[in-house]
Amino acid sequence: MQLQDILYSQGFGIRRVCSGLVQQGWVEVCVEGEMQRTTDSALDLEPEGLKFRVQGVAWEYYEKGYVLLYKPAGTECSQKPSAHPSIYTLLPAPLRQRPNKNAIQGLQAVGRLDQDTTGLLLLSDDGQFIHRMSSPKKHVPKVYRVAAKHAVTAQMVERLLAGVVLDDDPKPVRAAACVQVDEHTIDLTLTEGKYHQVKRMLAAVGNRVEGLHRWKIGGLELPADMQPGQWRWLTAADLELLRA
């Protein structure tokens, strides 16, 4: 694949822009373990596993993008936020500009978290992956650390596991698991995602959510060394944990 096409596929702009980056000497590619500057935009390279630098920033080629983001509070999972900054502003421009056959460019959030909810958020440009992770039919477990305003009683836990009725759905919604962490904190596992679901489930049992943090999807946990607002590529091992 030509170098300008590789850069285009990774979100560095239209091909003319990518060609210009190379010709102006802003691109280095890893050849036999060493970074080498090139001005040949038509240079033919094997893209798989290719490491390169653009304007001094290190990158690696990914045919499909799979990213983990530690969503901070006060951000919206929308390209056009209404009242708070978008989570997409936390990503570098190439991840937002990766070309896509669909109308929307760049990585897309796999489901949404409320603006005041923190924690593990996946993003990808792989439509099948997004569907598999977000479809309620796939029953992918998602674990939320819930801080409740009032003490959580055994009866509340029993009702969450048995199922509560939300105002827009006569079918009871059940938690797949509910583990008490302390008097005011539970880990709630859900396999579907309705609008404000955790908050509405707690309200249905006579309590109120004061803080909400998603720390696990499938078998993948939010890394302990990440800080709010940080992102990283998902590894092959991460993807296996999500499939488990």
Helices (H) and strands (E) in the chain, counts: 7, 15
| 85 token code pair | 């900054």
Query: Side-chain half-sphere of 55: how many Cα atoms within 13 Å?
Result: 6
| 226 token code pair | 């990440």
Query: Which residues are within 8 A (CB) of 166 and not within 5 positions of it... i.e. 6 or more apart?
Result: 173, 194, 197, 200, 201, 204
| Active site (catalytic) residues | 114
What is the length of the chain? 244
CA distance linking residue 41 with residue 17, whole number of Å: 11
Contact 96, 12 (CB under 8 A): no
CA distance linking residue 225 with residue 12, whole number of Å: 29
